[in-house]
Amino acid sequence: MGRRRRGAPGEDFSFVSPVVKYLLFTFNFLFWIISLVMVSVGVYARLTKHAEAAMACLSVDPAVMLMVVGVLMFILTFCGCVGSLRENICLLQTFCISLTVIFLLQLTAGILGFIFSDTARSKVTEMINNAIVHYRDDIDLQNLIDFGQMEFGCCGGVTYTDWSKNMYFNCTKENPSRERCSVPFSCCIISKDKVVINTMCGQDVQDLEYLQAGNHIHTNGCIDKLVNWIHSNMFLLGGVALGLAIPQLVGILLSQILISQIKDQIELQDYNLKHQSDPWS
């Protein structure tokens, strides 16, 4: 049942559906809370993070990205919340247009990423190589790389010898490090039947032949493993993309319905007021 606005006797104003109105408000309020959490986490991570060199392997600092996305989401959802409660067409249109632009940008980015997959692959390769260089500079980055190598059963970017790019694992004779010509433990092939795990299994493996090294560590690079994983999980990734797109489409649809109802109500109010003031027209 809609809400009827008060007016002069005999007026028959149209309705603004409270279901659409409060559904849109609830939708925006939930994402408004999420945006506050994102900004808080981003600020905390930025204040506590001191390893700037480690972040050089990424195009954008994740903490800064989190804050920027959180602030934009906060502004956008604020427009949606206030616009739906106050039935403000200007705020609702700002919300709807912004959400549409964001959705189109995401769609465009996905299409361009698919078309220019080779460029995207080279960019990922560059990021992984930079991460290898800064492996020992930050414990969070180190844990992320170790998790990826253990999860995908890989080592390095293209191959295990990529670890020579790191100053500690570098395989030149001038390197005084005890880890010279080695790879991280996360590259090792771990047998489940072993009671005691040899954490030094990656020692000096860069000096071995490819087949010999394969007896101790995963010799395949993580880039090929990642590409293969993406190809074998296209339905899962498509479901994630659809899950991100549905809330945006719902927000656009609800805001358009509410805008249309408010405009119809305003037009009917203007029509009734005009005929009340001039009953012979």
Tens place of pLDDT per residue across the chain (281 aa): 344 444 444 444 457 788 999 999 999 999 999 999 999 988 887 777 655 544 555 556 677 888 899 999 999 999 999 999 998 999 999 999 999 999 999 889 888 877 877 787 888 888 888 889 989 887 878 888 999 999 999 999 999 999 999 999 999 888 998 899 999 999 998 877 665 567 788 888 998 888 898 888 999 999 988 888 888 888 888 888 888 889 999 999 999 999 999 988 888 887 777 777 655 55
Q: Please identify which residue in the block is written with the tokens 């600020």.
A: 43
CA distance 224 to 23: 45
Q: How far is CA 22 from the centre of its chain?
A: 28
What does the pLDDT read at residue 239? 87
Q: Write down the pLDDT at residue 280.
A: 57
Does the reported pTM lie above 0.75? Answer: no
Query: Residue 167's CB: how many other CB atoms inside 10 A?
Result: 14
Report the pLDDT value the prediction gives residue 2, as an integer from 0 to 100: 44
CA dist list (Å): 261 to 7, 83, 84, 130 = 18, 13, 12, 54
Tokens of 20: 């659409």
Q: Are the CB atoms for 206 and 184 separated by under 8 Å?
A: no
How far is 7 from 163, CA to CA, in rounded Å? 76
Sorted by where each begins, the domain ranges of the chain are 18-117+234-277, 119-231
CA distance 237 to 124: 18
CA distances (Å), 173 to each of 14, 21, 164, 166, 176, in order? Answer: 84, 71, 12, 14, 8
* pLDDT at residue 52, as a whole number: 52
pLDDT in the model for residue 13: 44
Residue 94's Cα: distance from chain center in Å? 23
279 sits in the region (left: phi over 0; alpha: psi -120 to 50; else beta) called alpha
Please choose, from the candidates 195, 170, 165, the residue with its C-alpha nearest in 3D space to the C-alpha of residue 181: 170
Taking residue 128's Cβ as centre, other Cβ atoms within 10 Å add up to 21
> In CATH, what number does 119-231 get?
1.10.1450.10
Among positive and negative, which fits the CA dihedral 9, 15, 21, 23?
positive
The per-residue pLDDT for 4 is: 43
Please provide the DSSP assignment of 128-179 as one string: HHHHHHTTTT-HHHHHHHHHHHHHHT--SSSBGGGGGGSTTT--STT---TT
Structure tokens at 241: 């993309």
**What pLDDT sits at residue 60?**
60
- Give the pLDDT score at 15: 73
